[in-house]
Amino acid sequence: MAKGKKEDKEDPPEEEEGEEEDEGEGEMQDDDEAFEPGGSDDGEDEPKKKRGRDKDEEEEEEEEEDYGEEEPLPTKKMKAKKLTMTLVRVGGESLGIAMADNQVTAVHKGQLGAKEGLKIGDIITEVNGKDTHIESFGSLLPKDKTKPIKIKVTRMVEVDEAAEEAARKERAAKKAKREAEAAAAAAEAEAAEEEEEKEEKEEEKEGGGD
């Protein structure tokens, strides 16, 4: 009898094992419920966020379409203006200009170059009748600083299109007037010749009748 009791104590009852398994299954059920699809708020917010992004992209595209292409900046029309100047150095004064490749790069205020009207960007093409493309400006200056320096200058100036158009119309009107006057004078001369010829014929006719 003692031996039978000892065996009962060593082997755990079957009912206790069943209870432990049930508890484990219950825990797994709880975990499954926690991760059930559609159970979290984040999943519901994802479609809303996507719709929001799509709307923002559409608005950006509309804004880009409204701007369109940028208009190019208007370009200034320039032309070369020819000038002639005479520089006279009184008492051997400086010209008051700086040069680089026959182009004026600086004009000092109050000095000879500024007084005569030289400007930055002017290109001196001739000094006392000699071409600066053959010899440099500095080498063509007379050693005697009392002698006048006659220069030819090319200056790029902005075209006043309205003034240019007005001048063109004025030239065209003057030309048309000259042509009209010439045509009138030619017609008058032709009429005078015809009248003279007619008178001569009449005189000849009268003379023949006598």
Choice between 207 and 20, residue whose per-residue pLDDT is larger: 207
121 confidence band (pLDDT: 50, 70, 90):
very high
Residue 101 neighbours by CB distance under 10 Å: 9
The residue extents of the domains of the chain are 78-158
pLDDT of residue 26: 45
What is the tens place of the pLDDT at every residue in 23-77? Answer: 444 444 444 444 444 444 555 556 555 566 666 666 665 555 554 556 665 677 8
The yes/no answer on whether domain 78-158 falls in CATH 3.40.50.720 is: no
Q: Which long-range contacts (CB under 8 A, 24 or more apart) does 116-120 make?
A: 116/85, 116/86, 116/87, 117/83, 117/85, 118/85, 118/153, 119/155
For residue 198, the model assigns a pLDDT of: 86
Percent pLDDT > 70 in the chain is: 63
